[in-house]
Chain A
Amino acid sequence: MRKFFSNLYTSINKEPWSYIVTFGLMLIGSALVYMVPRSLMAFLVLMLAPAALYFLKMNNRIKLFAGLLLAVVILPVLGVRNIFYLEVIFQICVFAALALGLNIVIGLAGLLDLGYVAFYAVGAYTWAFFGSKQMSLLYSVPGAAPANAPFFLENPDWFWFFIFLGIGLAALAGILLGLPVLRLRGDYLAIVTLGFGEVIRVLALNLDKPINITNGPQGITPIQRPNLSPDLLNAIRLVLEPLVGHSVTDAQFYNVFFYFLALIIIIVAVVVARRLEDSRIGRAWTAIREDETAAIAMGIPLVRMKLMAFAAGASFAGAMGVIYAANRTFVSPETFSFLQSIGVLTMVILGGLGSIPGVIVGAAVVVFLNIQVLQTFSLYLSSLRQSDAVIPIINFAWKNLSTQLDPAKYQKLIFGVILVIMMIFRPEGLIPAERRKRELVGEKEE
C-alpha cells in the first residue's frame, strides 16, 4: 500500500505530470462541485487540488498563480453557489489560524497549553461587547433587553480597529496568564492553562451580574459587521452572478468577505510564524523546547521568551476571535469550551508539531471531518431512519435505530481516536516539521 503510493507520487512528481494532475484536479474538482454542489466526493476531489499544489514540484510562479486562482476565484465562486462550502472553508481558515498560533506555543516553544481557546474568547468578546448594544444594557437583566437599545459604536467600521485591539488584548491576556505559571514545567503548566481556559469561559458565563457585561449563557447578539460599499458589491455582482448562476444576496457577500478576511489573517499568520521561527527568537523557542537547562545556560532568558511565545500565539487567536464574532453576529460561552481547545490541539498534533503546512492541513482535515463528513453521515442515517429500509440478514429496521447514534455527536470520539492513532503510528504528524537547510557555503560536498 505504502509502496504503491510512493511509486504513484514519484511518477506524477515530474513535468508535465505535476501540472496535468494539479490543474486537472482543480478543473475536475471545480466542475464537479459546480454541477453537484451537495456531493461530498466532489468537494474531496477539489480539496485534493491544494494538496497536489503543495506536494508536487512545479515552477514557483505557476504554483503561486494556481494557488491564487484557487483561493481568490474558484473557492469564492463555488462557495457562493453552495454557501455551505464557504462556511466549511471559513471554518478551516479560522481553525488554521488558531492552530498556527497554538503551534508557536506548543510546537516551537514546547509549552503545553490546554486553555488556548481562552485567547480566542478574549478576541471574540472584545468585539462582541463593543460592537453590540451590550454597553447600554449593562444594568438590564439578561434576556430582558429593550428592543430600541442603540449600538454602542455608531459606525461599525470600528471593526477594523478592533481586530488590532483584539490582537493586543489577547497578547496581554497571554502575558498575564504567563507571568505566574511559566515557572512550571510540562504537566503542571498544562493543568494550569487548562484551568485558565475554564476560568475565562466561566467568567463569560457568569459576568451577567451584577453588571451585565457578557449577557451570560445567552451570549451577546446582534454584533455589528463592518460596512461593505453597496456600489462595490453591485459592480462585483455584474461579474459574479453570471458565474454563479443565481443572484447573490448581501448575506452571501458577507460570507465571501469574511472568507477573504480569514484568508488574509492566515497569510499574515504564516508569514509571521515563519519569520519568527527563523530568527533569534524562534531559535530560542526551539532551544527551550529541546532543553531548558542548556537554553538558559546559553543566555536565553526563559521567562521573557516564554511570555513572548504565549503572547505571539495568543494574538493570532485574538484576531480570529474578533472576526468570528462579527461573522456570527453572536458569541456565547459555549463556543469556548475545553473541547474546542482540545480540537485545536488535535489539529496541531495531527498536522505535525512545529510544522506550519502541517497544522494548516491538520485544521483542514479536522474541520472537514467534523462539519462535513460526520454531518453527512448523520443526515444519511436520519434519512435511513425515516425510510422503511431494513438491514438485511439481521433483519433490523433502520427506524428502530436509536437516535443517540448520531455521528455528528461523535466529535470527541473522533478527536480521541485521531490523537491516539497519531501518537502510535506517526507522532511527528502528517507533514513533519523540518529544519531549514542552509546553503552549503564553504562546505565542500564529499
Chain B
Amino acid sequence: MSLLKTTDVIKRFGGLTAVNKMNFVLEEGQIASIIGPNGAGKTTFFNTLTGIYKPEEGAIEFNGHSLVGLRPDQVAERGIARTFQNIRLFGSMTVIENILVGMHTQLKQRGTDALFRTKAFHKEEAEAEAKARELMDYVGLKNVGNELARNLPYGGQRRIEIARALAANPTLILLDEPTAGMNPNETEEAIKLFRRIRDEKGITVLLIEHDMRVVMNISERISVMDYGEKIAEGTPAQIRSNQRVIEAYLGREAAAAQA
C-alpha cells in the first residue's frame, strides 16, 4: 500500500484552478520531487495535503486514512511534517524552543503537570531537550541552542526548520524549496541531509524544488506540474527527456528550436 495517494484533487481560488485533478502516489521510503514552473500549483498542492486549504474535490489518503477535512494540526498529528517556502520560524524563540514546539504532538504533559511541576513533567522536559539537541546535531547546528532563531544566518534557519519538522517524529516530511538561496556547498550538504533523513530515520521525503541539480541528484521519482496539472512523472532520466516538460520549462518554440 502506498503511503500517500491523492485522487483527482481539485483546488480552486475563485475562477482559477490552482490544482487540477491531481493524481499523485508516494511510496513509503521514497525520495520524490515535485517540480514545475513558477505558479504551477506546487505549493498549493502542499497546502492542500497539509490541510491549510480544503480541496474542492478529490480524495487524499495517508496511511490508508483520508486527510480531507482535517485541520492542519490534525494532519501534523497523523505524521506529516513540513517546512515552508519562505522560512517560517518562531523568530523570537530560541533555536531549542523552536524544535521543542515541533515536538508538540509528541509531548504528553498537561497543564496541571506544568503547574505542579510533577516528576513526569521534569522527566519529559529533560528528554525533550536532549532530543532537541540531538536533532540540532543531526542537521548540523552547533552552539546555537540559546540563540534567537531570527538571529541565525539563512542556511542555519533552513536547518532549524528541518529539525523542527523532524521533531514531530513524522512518517512523511514535505520540504518546500529547501535549498532556495543556498550556495553550492550548502546545497551539497542539504542533499546529504535529505538522504540521511530517509536512510537513517526511514522518513519518506517529498520535495518541491527548483534547483535541477538537487532534483536530478536526489529524486527517485519526479512529478512535473504545470498550470495545476501533472504533466509528467517518472525517473530523473525519463523526465529529462520528456518533451512536454521541456516545453513547459522553455516554452514551445524554444523547445522546438533546441530540438
Q: In the assembly, what is the distance between CA of A284 and CA of B98, in Å? A: 10
A residues 248-293 touching B (CB-CB < 8 Å): 272, 275-276, 278-284, 286-287, 290-291, 293
Across-interface contacts of B73 in A (CB, < 8 A) = 296-302
Report the bound CA distance from A296 to B90 in whole Å.
Answer: 12
Q: Could you say which residues of chain A place their CB within 8 Å of the CB of B76?
A: 296-299
Within 8 A of B (CB), among A420-446: 435-438, 440-446
Residues of B within 8 A of A441 (CB): 129-130, 133
* Closest chain A residue to B94, Cβ basis: A435
B121 near A287 (CB under 8 angstroms)? no
Indicate if B5 sits at the interface (CB-CB under 8 A). no
Contact A279 B101, beta carbon cutoff 8 Å: no
Determine the residue in chain A with the shortest Cβ distance to B88: A294
Instruction: Give the chain A neighbours of B148 by CB distance below 8 A.
Output: 435
Q: Looking at the complex, which one of A272, A287, A299 makes contact with B90 (CB distance below 8 Å)?
A: A287
Alpha-carbon distance between A283 and B88 when the two chains are bound, in angstroms: 16
Indicate whether B66 reaches chain A with its CB closer than 8 angstroms. no
Query: How close is A110's CB to chain B, nearest CB, in angstroms?
Result: 11
**Residues on the B chain within 8 Å of A291, using CB:** 88-91
Interface 9-mer from B22-30, B138-146, B209-217, B219-227:
B138-146
Contacts of A298 in B (CB 8 A): 73, 76, 81, 101-102, 104-105, 164, 168
Contacts of A445 in B (CB 8 A): 143
A345 within 8 A of B: no
* Closest-CB distance, B256 to chain A (whole angstroms): 42
**Interface: A295 (CB within 8 A):** yes
Q: Is the CB–CB distance between A297 and B52 below 8 Å?
A: yes
Q: Which of B106-114, B177-185, B188-196 has 4 or more CB atoms under 8 Å from chain A?
A: B106-114
Known contacts A299-B104, A300-B101; A290/B143 CB under 8 A: no
Chain B, 43-68, CB within 8 A of any chain A CB: 50, 52
Contacts of B81 in A (CB 8 A): 297-298
Q: Could you tell me if A446 and B109 are in contact, using CB atoms closer than 8 angstroms?
A: no
> Across the interface, do B145 and A435 meet the contact criterion of CB distance under 8 Å?
no
Let me know if A308 is at the binding interface, CB within 8 A.
yes
Cα distance A443–B230 in the bound complex, in angstroms: 46
The residue in chain B whose Cβ has the minimal distance to the Cβ of A442 is B133
Residues of B within 8 A of A300 (CB): 73, 101, 104
Q: Per-position contact with B for A294-335: 1 when CB-CB < 8 Å, else 0?
A: 111111111000001000000000000000000000000000
Question: What is the bound-complex CA distance between A437 and B113, given in angstroms?
Answer: 21
Tell me whether B72 is interfacial, beta carbon within 8 Å.
Answer: yes
Q: Does B77 lie at the interface of the complex (its beta carbon under 8 Å from any beta carbon of A)?
A: yes
The answer to whether B16 has its CB under 8 Å from any CB of chain A is no
Q: Which residues of B contact A302 (CB under 8 A)?
A: 73
Chain A residues near B133 (CB-CB < 8 A): 441-443
In the bound assembly, the distance between CA atoms of A286 and B149 in angstroms comes to: 13
Chain B residues, CB < 8 A from A281: 111, 114
Instruction: List A contacts of B164 (CB < 8 A).
Output: 298
CB neighbours of B50 from chain A (8 A): 297
Does B100 lie at the interface of the complex (its beta carbon under 8 Å from any beta carbon of A)?
yes
**A residues near B97, Cβ cutoff 8 Å:** 283, 286, 435
**Chain B residue at smallest Cβ distance from A296:** B72
In the complex, chain B residues whose CB is within 8 Å of the CB of A290: 89-93
Q: List 14 A-B contacts (CB under 8 A).
A: A272-B115, A275-B114, A283-B97, A290-B89, A293-B88, A294-B90, A298-B76, A298-B102, A299-B77, A302-B73, A435-B97, A435-B146, A440-B143, A446-B143
Q: Given contacts A290-B89, A291-B90, A442-B133, could you give 13 more A-B pairs where the C-beta distance is less than 8 Å?
A: A278-B114, A279-B111, A279-B121, A280-B114, A284-B101, A286-B101, A294-B90, A296-B73, A297-B50, A299-B76, A436-B94, A441-B133, A443-B133
The 8 closest A-B pairs by CB, nearest first: A279-B114, A299-B76, A299-B105, A290-B90, A294-B88, A296-B72, A287-B101, A301-B73
